[in-house]
Amino acid sequence: MKTIDPKGKIALVSGANRGIGKAITLELLNKGAAKVYAGARNVETLSELVSLYGNRVVPVQLDVTDDRSIERAADLIEALDILVNNAGIFAIGGILSGAALTSLKDNLDINVWGLIKLSNAVYPQLAKSENSAIINISSLAGLGNMPMAATYSVSKAAVHSITQGMRAELSDKNTLVMGVYPGPIDTEMAANLEMDKDSPSNVAQAIVSGLINGTEDVFPDVMSQQAGNFYLSNPKAVEQEFANFKA
Ligand SMILES: NC(=O)c1ccc[n+]([C@@H]2O[C@H](COP(=O)([O-])OP(=O)(O)OC[C@H]3O[C@@H](n4cnc5c(N)ncnc54)[C@H](OP(=O)(O)O)[C@@H]3O)[C@@H](O)[C@H]2O)c1
């Protein structure tokens, strides 16, 4: 089993300035990570993290839709053990709605192309680590399509498949490839969802425990623990259940 203790390790987190990405950054630092490269489109939004952790937080300007920004970020990173592909958006659109192609493009540009571009850009540094991890934040919506956010579900299903592909490609390396499948979490992204939500810090704790325990598929909150078990035993039932999540 592949495991990794964040103590003394160097991480990169995309979208580290708020929500789940900020919580993961804090949890990695609290569990002894030596340094976190904190990616944000606007590095000024990282000032609280820097004031708390000083030079253990390295602000990195990172827009995953901007090739130059990704290139500059990769050039800055000298060594890397843990990559957290967290940056994402939630563009709403049904498959058969007039907005399908627009919302699908937006979701794919950031949630999928951005993730693949950033992963490839920093993989040379990660490949030098003797014990590493790649963490991809998918969603429960990646395991069954939710019609209220159908094209978002498409993008997160792609993240699920990308995670499986990375795991297969890195099977002979000491790299834990983790997929994370949260349910509704209390961040700006989910502000308009009228549902019970778990906290970003619980998600972050589940992820970091997963690193230490070698968990490949992390279901980090109350809803995802239930749905995750259900998915593993009966994916068709999850499809039918999620079909009720209408706009
Ligand atoms: N919240 C939920 O219920 C939930 C459930 C399942 C999965 N997730 C996933 O968890 C991840 C984090 O979401 P969250 O809930 O923390 O959302 P959030 O609070 O809206 O944060 C999104 C983060 O992504 C960043 N981002 C957006 N576009 C970007 C770009 N082009 N380049 C770089 N960074 C970009 C944002 O930066 P700015 O501040 O610059 O906008 C922000 O840091 C996402 O992948 C999301 O799909 C969330």
Q: Which atom of ligand 1 is nearest to the CA of 152?
A: 47
Cβ–ligand 1 contact at 144 (below 6 Å): no
Q: Which residues does residue 176 pair with via DSSP β-bridges, in sequence order?
A: 133
Residue 14 Cα, ligand 1 centroid: separation in angstroms? 9
Pocket lining: 179 vs ligand 1, CB cutoff 6 Å: no
Determine the distance separating the centroid of ligand 1 and the alpha carbon of 127, expressed in angstroms.
Answer: 26
What's the confidence (pLDDT) of residue 13? 99
Contact 215, 204 (CB under 8 A): no
CB distance 150 to ligand 1 below 6 Å: no
Does the CA dihedral 239-241-243-247 come out positive or negative? negative
Question: Could you tell me the residue ranges of all domains in the chain?
Answer: 10-242
- Nearest-atom number in ligand 1 for the CA of 197 is 3
pLDDT of residue 247: 79
Please tell me the distance from the alpha carbon of residue 162 to that of residue 188, in angstroms, as a whole number. Answer: 25
- Mode of pairing for the β-strands spanning 175-180 and 132-137: parallel
How far, in Å, from the CA of 19 to the mean position of ligand 1? Answer: 7
CATH number for the domain formed by residue range(s) 10-242: 3.40.50.720
Q: H helices within the chain, ranges in order?
A: 19-30, 47-53, 67-76, 100-107, 115-127, 150-169, 200-213, 222-233, 235-242
Establish whether residue 153 lines the binding site of ligand 1, counting it when its CB lies within 6 angstroms of any ligand atom: no
- Closest-CA residue, ligand 1 atom 47, reads 88
> Does the beta carbon of 84 lie inside 6 Å of ligand 1?
no
Determine the Cα–Cα distance for residues 115 and 122; give it in Å rounded to an integer.
11
- Residue 99 pLDDT: 86
Grouped pLDDT means (10 residues each) for the chain, 247 residues: 98 99 98 98 98 98 98 98 99 92 97 99 98 98 96 98 98 98 98 94 98 98 93 94 91
- What burial class does residue 217 get, using C-beta atoms within 10 Å of its C-beta: 0-12 exposed, 13-18 middle, 19+ buried? middle
Q: In this structure, how many other beta carbons lie within 10 angstroms of the beta carbon of residue 158? A: 19
Asked if residue 19 has its Cβ within 6 Å of ligand 1, the reply is: yes
Strand partners, 75: none
- Known catalytic residues are 152
* CA–CA separation, 189 and 18 (whole Å): 10
Residue 112 tokens read as: 């999928």
* Planar angle of CA 124, 180, 6, nearest 5 degrees: 55
The pLDDT of residue 67 = 98
